[in-house]
């Protein structure tokens, strides 16, 4: 009987050779969609396909699985924040698809760390292969076959509508035309090539795009690239994936670039597709082209005609420096507690007072991100004002030091409590409590010292 059982059950047993064959097959299927850096284990998702957010997440998790097999990223916790930062997509956008994957048993979660189920890897890769490789290949074959069938030309007065063709394919450089264009602006081809390099019709910026902040670099690099792109190829629009790749090749930081460019739609228009789609493009406006020419000439001729008012929009407001000596700090804490009827001992227990800053030792019990951010910033902000004599403070630094999420602080401007109690529009760099905000924060602080919680 035992021998018969073993005969039946042996089909479930696989040897190492079979497992290696499976792994080799999965790696082959993954190659078109991802690469892994040998030293860092960083997952590089292919820019060749218009992948959705869901697809980018699943490709990233597949890459993480392989990297751990390579003994890379072994001790890294794959949280939603880690995934968000790695694929350069906001955490709020990532959380929904991740939750669906967990719900559908495609991805597992343990201690806030996400892992793709091994048995799901091939299924997901097959779906991607069918969508982006087999389907496109079959479509190309069908198109080719259709082209061989002779079609009689019909005389018609209607205007023929041609299908749109990718701008990347249309790129043709007419050197004589380029020289004539540059001559209008007292520039030469040599001038242009001192700023850019061209490899396989792709423009790579060499210099001139760096600014005092990432935001300034985003604006300069975008204006320079799109201006040169229009001069060389006569195209004022480019696909986002191609554009970002060219900037990355030049060393331009592209994180949060689309957020920066939203504020400069007079010069650069970001044309979006459906929600979750990466099939988007950037277009330079006539006014943006003018600005780009001015910037281009400034770099070449070492002048400074680039609109200063335009540049000033890029600069961040700065928070006040936090610095106080030990004796003055202790005196101020005591005076603040006495004046507002606060328990000084509890105040020193729940807050960590340092000469160069402050943090909360016990986070608030709150599930909504915006609310915990605003309440934490109000409590810390009023202490900074009354104890450290600091009016402008960095919300990002305060939240980070207190172990509170500082994602999407740009969304706080739309919150009614933020509008009621804060006067600045720069949550990441220079926030400030209003007079009403200070009074409300002190009342919240009293409740927090009693119950370790408070309400808005």
pLDDT in tens, 393-426: 888 888 888 888 888 777 787 788 888 888 755 6
Contact 75, 111 (CB under 8 A): no
Number of H helices and E strands in the chain, helices first, is 21, 11
Burial (CB count within 10 angstroms: exposed 0-12, middle 13-18, buried 19+), residue 310: middle
Contact 122, 30 (CB under 8 A): no
Measured CA to CA, the distance from residue 107 to residue 118 in angstroms comes to 9
Q: Which helix (H) or strand (E) holds 238?
A: strand 237-239
Q: Among 219-223, 255-259, 320-324, 405-409, name the most confident range.
A: 219-223
Measured CA to CA, the distance from residue 201 to residue 199 in angstroms comes to 5
Of the listed ranges 133-147, 229-243, 427-441, the least confidently predicted one is 133-147
Of the listed ranges 157-166, 242-251, 297-306, the least confidently predicted one is 157-166
Q: How far is CA 425 from CA 191, 317, 357, 394, 413, in A?
A: 41, 10, 22, 12, 7
Q: What is the CB neighbour count within 10 angstroms for residue 456?
A: 14
Domains of the chain (ranges, CATH numbers):
16-124 (1.10.10.10), 167-312 (1.10.10), 326-451 (no CATH)
pLDDT at residue 321 greater than cutoff 60: yes
Sheet containing 281-284, strands listed edge to edge, beginning at the edge strand earlier in sequence: 237-239, 281-284, 268-271
Q: What percent of the chain has pLDDT over 90?
A: 24
Does this model's pTM top 0.75? My answer is no
Q: Which residues, other chains included, contact 296 with Cβ-Cβ below 8 Å and sequence gap of 6+?
A: 185, 187, 195, 208, 224, 227, 228
- Please state whether 128 falls in left (phi above 0), alpha (psi between -120 and 50) or beta: alpha
pLDDT per residue as tens digits for the range 341-380:
999 999 999 999 998 889 998 888 888 888 899 999 999 9
Strands (E), 240-343: 268-271, 281-284
Strands (E), 255-350: 268-271, 281-284
Measured CA to CA, the distance from residue 410 to residue 427 in angstroms comes to 7
Measured CA to CA, the distance from residue 59 to residue 298 in angstroms comes to 43
Strand partners, 204: 197
Tokens 């610095």 locate to: 323
Strand partners, 354: 357
Q: Are strands 202-205 and 237-239 parallel, antiparallel or unpaired?
A: unpaired
Q: Which residues, other chains included, contact 183 with Cβ-Cβ below 8 Å and sequence gap of 6+?
A: none
Nearest to 317 by CA among 406, 382, 394: 394
Burial (CB count within 10 angstroms: exposed 0-12, middle 13-18, buried 19+), residue 249: middle
Which pLDDT score, from 0 to 100, does residue 12 have?
63
């Amino acid at each position: 009987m035992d021998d018969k059982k073993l005969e039946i059950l042996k089909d479930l047993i696989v040897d190492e050779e079979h497992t290696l064959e499976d792994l080799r097959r999965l790696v082959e299927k993954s190659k078109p969609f991802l690469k892994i850096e040998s030293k860092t284990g960083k997952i590089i998702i292919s820019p060749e396909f218009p992948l959705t957010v869901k697809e980018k997440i699943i490709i990233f998790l597949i890459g993480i699985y392989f990297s751990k097999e390579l003994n890379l990223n072994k001790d890294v916790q794959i949280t939603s924040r880690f995934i968000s930062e790695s694929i350069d997509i906001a955490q709020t956008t990532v959380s929904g698809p991740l939750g669906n994957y967990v719900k559908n048993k495609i991805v597992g979660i343990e201690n806030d760390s996400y892992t793709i189920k091994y048995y799901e890897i091939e299924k997901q890769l097959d779906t991607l292969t069918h969508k982006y490789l087999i389907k496109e290949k079959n479509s190309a074959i069908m198109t080719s076959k259709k082209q061989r069938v002779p079609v009689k030309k019909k005389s018609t007065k209607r205007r023929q509508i041609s299908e749109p063709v990718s701008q990347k394919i249309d790129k043709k450089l007419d050197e004589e035309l380029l020289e004539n264009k540059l001559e209008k602006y007292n520039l030469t081809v040599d001038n242009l090539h001192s700023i850019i390099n061209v490899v396989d019709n792709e423009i790579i910026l060499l210099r001139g795009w760096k600014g005092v902040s990432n935001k300034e670099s985003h604006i300069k690099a975008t204006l320079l690239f799109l201006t040169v792109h229009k001069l060389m190829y006569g195209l004022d629009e480019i696909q986002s994936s191609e554009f970002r790749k060219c900037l990355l090749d030049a060393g331009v930081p592209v994180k949060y670039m689309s957020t920066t460019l939203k504020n400069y739609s007079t010069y650069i228009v970001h044309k979006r597709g459906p929600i979750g789609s990466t099939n988007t493009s950037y277009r330079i406006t006539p006014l943006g082209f003018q600005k780009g020419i001015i910037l281009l000439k400034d770099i070449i001729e070492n002048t400074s005609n680039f609109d200063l008012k335009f540049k000033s929009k890029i600069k961040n407001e700065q928070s006040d420096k936090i610095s106080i000596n030990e004796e003055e700090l202790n005196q101020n804490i005591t005076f603040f507690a006495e004046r507002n009827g606060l328990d000084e001992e509890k105040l020193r227990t729940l807050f960590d007072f340092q000469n160069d800053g402050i943090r909360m030792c016990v986070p608030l019990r709150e599930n909504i991100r915006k609310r915990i951010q605003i309440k934490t910033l109000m409590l810390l902000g009023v202490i900074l004002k009354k104890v450290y004599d600091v009016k402008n403070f960095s919300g990002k630094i305060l939240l980070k030091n207190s172990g509170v999420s500082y994602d999407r602080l740009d969304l706080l401007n739309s919150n009614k409590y933020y509008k009621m109690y804060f006067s600045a529009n720069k949550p990441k760099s220079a926030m400030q409590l209003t007079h009403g905000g200070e009074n409300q924060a002190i009342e919240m602080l009293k409740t927090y010292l009693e119950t370790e919680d408070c309400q808005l």
